[in-house]
Amino acid sequence: MRNRSFVNLNTNPCKMCMPMGGCLALKGIEGTMVMMHGSQGCSTYMRRHMATHYNEPVDIASSALNEKETVYGGAKNLKNGLSNVIKQYDPKLIGVLTTCLAETIGEDIRAISEVFKRENEIEDVDIVTVATPGYGASHFEGYFATLTALVKYYAKEKTKTHTNHINIVTTFMTPADQRALKEIIEAFGLTYTMLPDVTETLDAPFKPEYNKIPEGGTPLEGLRAMGEAVATVEIGQLVTDDISPGAYLKETHGVPLYRMGMPIGLKNTDQFLKTLSMVSGKAIPRKYKLQRGRLLDAMVDSHKYNAEGYAAIFGDPETVLAVATLCAENGITPEVVATGSQRKSFKAMVDALSFKGKDTAAILDDTDFDTIQKLVRDRQINLLIGNSDGKFVMEKEDVPLVRIGFPVHDQVGAQRKLYVGYEGTMRFLDDLTNTLLDNKHKHYRAKVYNTYFEKKEAVND
């Protein structure tokens, strides 16, 4: 955001740090343990956010740097941490992420990790390192930078092309969303490597015995074969080539890249299915044509109520852009469209949407909740759409919040919510419309009463 006082620059920022995104990415990889090279507080912060959002146990190791290592270096701590992780968890892969402290003192985690492997003659555990300083960017960049580092580490050779196998790279999605995408892809007769895959790792069925590393995740063999796919479908319109797994695979192995937004809403879901149809050479199944028709019917049912909606949408940029697209399609005015990440194309993509009041809408990147709250109050917003970090705006301004995105830690079931596809869109649209109706019914008697008496008093005066 421009022209803002530096006093308020970081007042409750509308984002999380880079290593948070790295943790979210690594937790969707088979047999993986995450090691954070930094203070214990950093790993605790990550575990807390993920455990309360997914309602699953989340382990993240720490090298536990303190004042001494800040001065003399933390190589010994990192090596000891890696050794303990291998003994306690027996992982196939350890993802090592840096933090603000490690980056500030200039730790070379890649060199330290390579020395550790040589000194201990470790050959059966992979170690992938990613620079994720908390001050470097947001969780959005940390997530995709980590995915790209994984692809660069594993997808090194290409011996052939599998004509019916695709790569599907997803942005922040619920396990339920990813399961829905898998079902759609399989309906076109395609096999796939989903990166990352949190359908089991962060939404596991109940089991009597506890596994330190959950089953599931993107198979390491699947990562190695990503260069042999017939196409990469990357869910991320705002992903730049420098942090794009799809761009790397295209440049290095010639895998065609199809980049698009989250399949939420009519336009985005249409694009997703048409792309799969083109890649597979098969027509869109009748099942999804019927689902599309039901969504259109739901849009007709709800548009007259949605026209009274003025929304403030916030969160990670891809989710915000997809939700703004859905609102624009259904008559809800995206009055405030905000993300804490810095994405150069964000404003242009929102501007490309068609909705009433677009010329005066507040479209913000690199923003915070202090700014969002003032806009909610000044613009008489009646609907908040975003993650749980907006609940304080909800409480202070008495505006209802429909939750989507990460994190959601003031309610249960976030990992089971379905937003993508025609059916997910329809369910989410119903939530938005019903929230507007509830809010209207909650306030309309007082509004009519006050309006009537204000007019009556004005006439008597």
pLDDT tens-digit readout, 185-197: 999 999 999 999 9
Cβ 266 vs Cβ 292: under 8 Å: yes
* Structural domains of the chain, count: 3
Assigned domain for 416 exists: yes
166, 181: one domain:
yes
Residues 237 and 302 in one domain: no
Q: Helix 286-306 vs helix 317-330: angle between axes, to the nearest 10 degrees?
A: 70
pLDDT at 69: 87
Please tell me whether residues 272 and 337 are part of one structural domain.
no
The verdict on 214 and 355 lying in the same domain is: no
Q: Is the residue at 271 inside a domain?
A: yes
335: Cβ–Cβ under 8 A, 6 or more apart, which residues?
Answer: 310, 311, 312, 357, 361, 362, 375, 379, 381
Are 244 and 183 part of one and the same domain?
Answer: yes
Grade residue 8 by pLDDT with cuts at 50, 70 and 90.
very low
| Residue 459 included in any domain | no
210 domain-assigned? yes
Q: 440 with 292, same domain?
A: yes
Mean pLDDT of the chain: 93
Same domain, 243 and 276: yes
Residue 142 class from Cβ within 10 Å (0-12 exposed, 13-18 middle, 19+ buried)?
buried
Same structural domain, 125 and 169: no
Q: Which pLDDT band, with edges at 50, 70 and 90, does 449 fall under?
A: low
Do both 294 and 417 map to the same domain? yes
Residue 2: predicted pLDDT: 45
Supply the range of the domain harboring residue 233.
Answer: 162-284
Checking if the pLDDT of 166 tops 90, the result is yes
Quick check: is 5 in a domain?
Answer: no
CATH number assigned to the domain comprising residue 405: 3.40.50.1980
Distance CA 160, CA 229 (A): 9
Residue 365 exposure: Cα atoms within 13 Å on the Cβ side: 18
Q: Model confidence over 76-116: pLDDT tens digits? A: 999 999 999 999 999 999 999 999 999 999 999 999 999 99
- Residue 177, domain member (yes or no): yes
Choosing from 261, 284, 307, the residue where a domain stops is 284
Is residue 338 assigned to a domain? yes
Whether residue 208 lies inside any domain: the answer is yes
Q: What's the whole-number mean pLDDT along residues 271-290?
A: 98
